[in-house]
Structure 1
Amino acid sequence: MTEMFLETEYEEMRKLAKKLHILLPEAFWEFEVRDKRNRITFHSKQRSHSWVRNAYNLMVCQAAAVPGDSAVGLAIVDTGGSTRSDTTTQPASGLSSGGASNSSIYVNLTNGIYAGAGIDTFGIVVGTGANPESLESYALGAKIASGNLAGQLSYSATDPPAISTVGTIKTVAWVRYFNNNSGGTIIVNEAGVYTKGTYDNSSATFMMCRDLLAGGVNVPNTGQLKVTYTLQLTYPA
């Protein structure tokens, strides 16, 4: 199917979801590469179809107010591959201030997806892995470390989330820049979103989505990669 045909299908589905009052969350990811002269050498925007099981389990736990219990298939797998399960608490995409029932869940800079400069353990992350997308993925195939050495990209601080409303469509966009000071070209094949969150009253970093860029993209030495993840939801009114 052509991209234009698919977008027509999505538009029809969006209208139907609005009419029937059905939640229809949409997601997009965008890559843009600039060289040292600030010329755009690559640009691609696509729909993200690669939310992993963690994202689905998080949504169910939050919306239904149930714990993330592995006995009912609602556990979270952190980026280290450890299964995080609890029978009384639920996962959160932000860091808790404590175990009390009235504790806050922080999503400011250094928590949630909002990673600071040089931080490659959460936020938008990129890698060189080319293994197929999978619902069961819990980490990138081969994450690129932040730095200026060979094979590394310098991770900038995540931009503040841009939240906008057009008609009944609410949009949230997260942007992060990656600078190549490694001395050579780096091929980026994958991108994902890691959130620094909370589980059973302790911090936990887990992946929400992973997208594979067919053929990869070359980020030249002294060049810059911009990655944008956009979440979109159409309200019924």
Structure 2
Amino acid sequence: MLNVTEKDYDEIRRLGKKLHIPIPEMFWGFKVESLDGGVLHDHDERGHSWVRNAYNWLTSQMCAVNAASTTYGAGYLAMKQINGTVSGSGYAIGMPTVNNSIELAGQGFSGAVNTATGLVVGTGTAAFDFEQHTLEAIINNGTNAGELLYLAFNPIVKNYDSSTSTYSVTHSRYFTNNSGGDIVVSEVGIYTPRIYVANGTGIAMVTRDVLETPVTVPDLARLTVTYTIGVAFPA
């Protein structure tokens, strides 16, 4: 766990604006509701665990270069899919679109209904590792014991705060527990489909966080997970 205070975040945000260096900030939200709409749990926490895939993706786009290796590790630009396949020779790392939109189901961070892509959850508790390419123990999509039903993503919420010059985007998704028992969510991440041009059906994880406060989802309850990412502009 990082030993970082809100004062540290305030300072790096200030320096980012002063030096004209974009500093993204991420937040996860977790809300559990019963069938009658009663709130059983609700908390937010910072996200801070982008994996190597995310850095390679950012580097490819910001530096306008193709992935250049089929080796995944320090010094190589490549993407490691959740199935372990390494993709990265001669193609850009990016998000190909369908119908010219990155916001449709199955694109970007927007998981399609009944598929474990987009915002995903798991039961793993292993410490964050920069080289990770999957959750430690993803909760499968379904209604069997230990499974959650992955619903489609909710409409993306975009916001600009003129007082801080911060543009933010919130992605969210519902998960329903019809498994017959409690399920404890202790890790969360994003599985991004179609992130590598050469094989547009590949899926890669770009972030994984171990929850500071694990969330119990009782049987027949609904979990809402939100992911907000914001960038403070210098002007």
TM over 0.5: yes
SS of structure 2 residue aligned to 1:213: strand
SS of structure 2 residue aligned to 1:172: strand
Matching residue within 70, 73, 76 for 2:76: 73
1:132 aligns with 2:127: yes
Gaps of 5+ in 2: none
Bigger drift between 69-78 and 135-144 goes to 69-78
1:61 aligns with 2:54: no
Where do residues 64-213 of structure 1 align in structure 2 (5 Å cutoff)? 64-70=63-69, 72-86=75-89, 88-95=90-97, 106-120=102-116, 122-167=117-162, 168-203=165-200, 204-213=202-211
Size of the aligned set, in residue pairs, is: 228
Deviation at 1:201, TM superposition (A): 2.5
1:101 aligned partner: none
The CA RMSD over aligned residues, in Å, is 2.2
Q: Where does structure 1 differ by over 6 angstroms across 4 or more consecutive aligned residues?
A: none
TM score, norm. by length of structure 1: 0.89
Q: Which amino acid aligns with 1:149?
A: N
Contact 1:94 1:196 in 2 (8 A): no
Q: Distance in 1 between matches of 2:92 and 2:29?
A: 31
Contact 1:185 1:218 in 2 (8 A): yes
Deviation at 1:234, TM superposition (A): 0.5
Q: Percent identity?
A: 36
Gaps of 5+ in 1: 98-103
Q: Which amino acid aligns with 1:112?
A: G
Contact 1:129 1:140 in 2 (8 A): yes
TM score, norm. by length of structure 2: 0.89
